[in-house]
Structure 1
Amino acid sequence: MSAHGSSARAVQRPSAHGVQGFTLVELMVAMAIGLLLVAALVALVVSTIANRSELDKSARQIENGRYALKVLSEDIALAGFLGTSGLYSWDRVAPVACPASVADLGYATSTLPLAVQLLTATPGCVTNVQPGTDMLLLTRVAVQPVAPASTSATEAYVQVSTCQKDTKSFTAAAGAQAADFTLMQKDCSDTHLAQVRKAIQRIYFVSSCHECGKDTIPTLKVAEYVGGTMTITPLVEGIENLQFDFGIDTDGNGSPDCYVSNPDAPAPAQIDASVCVPPATAYDWSIVAANRANVMAVRVNLLARNTETTGGWTDDRTYHLGLGAPTVGPFNDSYKRHAYSTVARLNNPSGLRELP
C-alpha cells in the first residue's frame, strides 16, 4: 500500500473566514428594538396601573355616595318612631339641638320632639361644618327595647302607654331606674309593662375634614346624643355637599303635596300654585309649627367626590343639588365628583295619617 493510502486522512476544519456572527450594527439594531419593546411594556404596565387606580377611586366614590344615601334614607324612614302610637296624639316641638336634659330633647308632659328639622344655624355642639351645606336634626327611639332594669343611668329612655288606666301617656327619663317606668300595655296588667326604648337624637352634617387638624377631606358626620352629651362620629368620607328638600302634606292624607327647601320660610316660587297645587281647604304657609309637623318626606341631595386627585383631569362641570341650593361648580380642580339623590318617606308620621 502506498504511504498515502496507509496514513489517516487529515480532518478538514473550516477556515476562520467561514464563521458567521453579529456585526456591531446588527447588535445595536437588536438592542434598539429590545429597548422599544421594554418601553412599550413599561408604558402598558403604567397605563394599566393608572387605569386600575382610577377605577378604584371611582368605585370608592360610588360606594361612598350610595352608602351615604342609604344611611340617611334609612334613618329618615325611622324618624318619629316611638315603638307604638299609644292612645293619644301629641303636639310636636323643636328640640334643643345641643340638649343638656330630657326636657331639652322635647319630651314634655304632652309634647314630643319633631321627627325631622332643618337646622338653619350651626349649634354649638357641632364643629367644622362645610360652608353652604344643610344640617338635619332627627329624633326617634331605638328599634330594640330594653328591660326597665337594664337602663343606663347616663342615657334617656321613653316608655309609651297603651293602657287606658294609666294616668299619663308616656314617660321620658334620664338616669332612669326600673321604678321610673311603670306604664302598662293594652291589657293593663302590672306584669305586662310597656316597652322601654332609648331616646335618639342625631344631627347629620358635612364636615370640612375627616380627622380635623390632620386632613381636609370633606366627610359626612353625625352628632348623636350619647351618655348625656352630643358625640360626633365620622360616617362617610368624600361627601362634599348635602342639601335637603322637605315634602309637606297640605291636605292631611299623609302624602307630600309640595316640596320646599326650608319649611320655616318656604320660598314663594316653591309654593306657587303653578308648582304646588293648593288643597281644597286653603293651606297657610306662614305657620311655621304646622309646616314642620307636616313634613312627610325628605329628598336627600348630596355631592360625593374622590378623596384623591386625578392627574390631567379638570372638573369644569356644574351640579344641581335640590330646590334651595344654587348650582355648584365648576370647581376647576382635579377631583372627580358625582351627584346623588333619593327620597325618604317618614313612615311613622305619614302612616298615622293614613289610618282610617
Structure 2
Amino acid sequence: MMRKQQGLSLIELMISLTLGIVLMTGVVQMFITSRTTFTTQQAVSRIQESGRMAVEFLSQDIRMAGYRGCASRESTQQIEMGIEQDGGYLYDFDTSIRGYSSDDHPMGDVGVADGSEVLVIRRAGNTSMPIVNPTGNNANIEVAVEEEDDCVGEVCRGDTVVISDCTQGRVFQVTNFQNVGGGGSKIVHSQANVDGKPKNLDSKLGGQQFGPGSEVLKMSTLTYYIADSEFGVPGTRSLWREQDGEAAELIEGVENMKVGFGVDTDGDGIPDEYQDYNEVGDDNWGNVQAVRVALLMQSLEENVVDEPQPYRFDGEDVDDERIEDRRMRQVFTSTVGIRGRLD
C-alpha cells in the first residue's frame, strides 16, 4: 500500500532551489547574450547604412560642383557673373568648391563641431527650363512654364539662376515674372533690389545672346558640416547641409568629417596631390579636380562594445577619453572626381 507524500524534506527543497537557480542563470545568460548580439548587429547595420547614405549625399554634389547646364566645362566655356560680387559667400559662384575649418568658416554661428571641417559646393540644380524664343536685344527670357505663387518651376523671385547654352552662360538674379499667355512666362532680370540680395549688373545679360533651347537653371550654394544632432539621440552629432542659407539635418551618427582636395599642379587635368583646405590657397581652388572625404561614423547608443574601441582617423590614433563611451565606430572614405573639371 502506497503512502501519500506529506511534504518535502529540507534536502529535497535545497536541491530544487539549486536546480532552479542553475536553470534561471542559463536563461538570463542566454537573454543577455541575445540582447548583446542584437545591439551589436543593429549598431553595425545602422553605421553602415548611415555611412553609405552620407557618402552618397556628398558624392552627388561634389561630382556636380560647378555644374551650370551644358556649358559646364570650366576650362573651355565662359560663364559670366551678372550679379554684384559683394553679396557674401552664398553668391560667390566663381568658386565652385572650397573647404574651411570648424572655427574659420563663413556661415556664422551654426555650431560646427570642433575639429571637423566644412565643405562648400556651388552648382546648378538638376531641373532646367528651355527658353522658347531668342533673347534678342531686349534680353527677354521666355519659358513655357506658367508662373504660380511667385515661382516658375523651381525658380522663384529673388533666386540666382544661370542661363546657358553649350558655349556660354550668365548668372543673374530673378527680380519678377510676367505672364505672356499660353501657359508661358517671362523671367525678368532688372537691376531692382530683391530682399537685400545682390543686384544684377544690368538688365541686358551683359549683351550676351541666347537662342531657343538654351536652358535656365537655379544656382545654389550647398554647405556640408558636422554639428550636434537636434532630432536624434542627445550627445550625438549629425551631417548637416545648408542650402542657400537654410540648414537641414541629413544623417545621424556622423562624428567627424575631414576633406582632402585633389589639386592639378601641372595643368594636365589630373589631380597630382591631395591637400588640406589650408594648403590649397585662395587662387588655386579652380585647380581642384577631385575631393577625398573621410567620415567618422559612431553608433547612436553607448556601451555597444565590450571595452573602449581605439580607432584611426585622419592620420591620428585615438585611444583616450574620447572612446570611453564604448560606442562602435567606423571610418568611411571616398574619392570623388568633379565632372566638369576632369580631363
The answer, yes or no, to whether TM exceeds 0.5 is yes
Q: Does 1:174 align with 2:157?
A: no
The SS at the match of 1:60 is: helix
In the alignment, what sits opposite 1:132? 115
Q: Does 1:243 align with 2:258?
A: yes
Structure having the higher strand fraction is 2
CA drift at 1:216: 2.5
- 1:288–1:128 Cα change, 3 Å: closer
Q: Could you tell me which amino acid in structure 2 is paired with residue 39 of structure 1?
A: T
In the alignment, what sits opposite 1:63? 49
In the alignment, what sits opposite 1:278? none
Alignment partners' CA distance in 2, 1:64 and 1:196: 34
Q: Does 1:293 align with 2:286?
A: yes
One of 77, 95, 100 as aligned partner of 1:88: 77
One of 323, 332, 336 as aligned partner of 1:332: 323
In the alignment, what sits opposite 1:219? 238
CA drift at 1:336: 1.9
> Unaligned regions of 5+ residues in structure 1, if any?
1-13, 107-111, 267-286
Q: Could you tell me which amino acid in structure 2 is paired with residue 309 of structure 1?
A: E
Contact kept, 8 Å, 1:218 with 1:240, in 2: the verdict is yes
Q: Does 1:205 align with 2:225?
A: yes
> Unaligned regions of 5+ residues in structure 2, if any?
131-142, 146-151, 178-185, 190-203
- 1:311–1:179 Cα change, 3 Å: closer
Alignment partners' CA distance in 2, 1:213 and 1:339: 20
RMSD: 3.2
The SS at the match of 2:312 is: coil
In the alignment, what sits opposite 1:196? 216
CA drift at 1:316: 5.1
Q: Could you tell me which amino acid in structure 2 is paired with residue 293 of structure 1?
A: G
Contact kept, 8 Å, 2:69 with 2:165, in 1: the verdict is no
Alignment partners' CA distance in 2, 1:50 and 1:347: 45
- 1:49–1:242 Cα change, 3 Å: same
In the alignment, what sits opposite 2:38? 52
Count of residue correspondences: 286
Q: Could you tell me which amino acid in structure 1 is paired with residue 323 of structure 2?
A: N
The SS at the match of 2:37 is: helix
Q: Does 1:343 align with 2:335?
A: yes
- 1:212–1:96 Cα change, 3 Å: farther
In the alignment, what sits opposite 2:310? 317
Alignment partners' CA distance in 1, 2:276 and 2:188: 41
CA drift at 1:252: 2.4
In the alignment, what sits opposite 2:300? 307
Q: Could you tell me which amino acid in structure 1 is paired with residue 173 of structure 2?
A: A
Alignment partners' CA distance in 1, 2:239 and 2:307: 24
- 1:15–1:317 Cα change, 3 Å: closer
Q: Does 1:159 align with 2:163?
A: yes
Alignment partners' CA distance in 2, 1:15 and 1:40: 37
Alignment partners' CA distance in 2, 1:96 and 1:29: 87
Q: Does 1:29 align with 2:34?
A: no
Report Cα offsets for 1:65-84 as digits up to 9, x if no partner.
Answer: 22211111121011111111
In the alignment, what sits opposite 2:149? none
Alignment partners' CA distance in 1, 2:86 and 2:23: 69
Alignment partners' CA distance in 1, 2:333 and 2:112: 21
- 1:33–1:21 Cα change, 3 Å: farther
One of 201, 223, 248 as aligned partner of 1:233: 248
CA drift at 1:342: 0.9
Q: Could you tell me which amino acid in structure 2 is paired with residue 265 of structure 1?
A: E
The SS at the match of 1:113 is: coil
Contact kept, 8 Å, 1:98 with 1:124, in 2: the verdict is no
In the alignment, what sits opposite 2:124? 141
Q: Could you tell me which amino acid in structure 2 is paired with residue 127 of structure 1?
A: V
Moved over 6 A (4+): none
- 1:213–1:305 Cα change, 3 Å: closer
CA drift at 1:349: 1.8
Contact kept, 8 Å, 2:292 with 2:336, in 1: the verdict is yes
TM-score, normalised via structure 1 length: 0.70
Report Cα offsets for 1:100-123 as digits up to 9, x if no partner.
Answer: xxxx613xxxxx422211124122
CA drift at 1:32: 2.3
Structure having the higher helix fraction is 1
Correspondence list, 1:86-125, <5 A: 88-90=77-79, 105-106=91-92, 112-120=93-101, 121-125=104-108
In the alignment, what sits opposite 1:9? none
Identity between Structure 1 and Structure 2 (%) = 21
Q: Does 1:265 align with 2:279?
A: yes
Alignment partners' CA distance in 1, 2:87 and 2:230: 23
CA drift at 1:296: 0.2
CA drift at 1:51: 1.6
Contact kept, 8 Å, 1:248 with 1:257, in 2: the verdict is yes
